Structure 1
Amino acid sequence: VTFEWDDKQEVAFQLLKQKLCSAPILALPNGCEDFIVYCDASNKGLGAVLMQREKVISYASRQLKIHEKNYTTHDLELRAVVFALKIRRHYLYGTKCIIFTDHKSLQHILDQKEVNMRQRRWLELLSDYYCEIRYHPGKANVVDDALSRKEREPPLRVRALVMTKLKQENQRTSRRKMLEELVTLLW
């Protein structure tokens, strides 16, 4: 399959960039207050959404590492909270935020007397942030469920875009290179 990039693809690419960065999809933070974080974990991965005044600031998700697949549900849900705080620390550190999780017992994690070493490390990290953990029923946590349960399969579209000739690989323009990097990141 040959890779072609002309005006039609350029217009579509610019439109996609504009839509992904526009306010209905993502918004820039306004000040450093009213941050809300929704977290979720599954046996596949972790997901988090950072919001401010009902506007999405960012989405984040990742697959579980091999050793994390052995964690209990409680530890996985706590790990999702830690993941969200770490990945968005530049927004959340030093500000008051509310963290919603679908695991009810995490509301009282700071009051527990007996915790394992892993939980102790995470609780120490939590103590650096000015946050409150609240329960949010799993059925209402649709976005985080989708992020944490997203399966990682090699997309078919990317395979079709791979160039087979070395000469073509060396002659890519910066525009093509950027598109391929975006395709790799987004799909």
Structure 2
Amino acid sequence: DKGFIRPSFLTMGSSSPICQKKDGSFRVSIDYRELNKLTVKNRYSPPRIDDLFDQLQGSSVYSKIDLRSGYHQLRVREEDVPTTAFRTRHGHYEF
């Protein structure tokens, strides 16, 4: 409905079992383990939380960001979209 997923013309893709959540609703769980094996790992180490708090010392203005659905917030480069392909019993799709 939100346009995140589109039909894919690839015949291969990750499996996507449907899992039932504790509240009774369902979610698609895409198995990207094989793709992750081919992914170039980040060479960036995230900062330590203690260091971040030290940097905020003395600040008077703060903001926050909600990353609850952060995985839907980053655009995938068009040339990388085929790597997101997954298959269901209804067809093949990609992000």
TM-score by length of 1: 0.17
If asked which structure has higher relative contact order (CA below 8 Å, sep 6+), I would say 2
TM-score by length of 2: 0.27
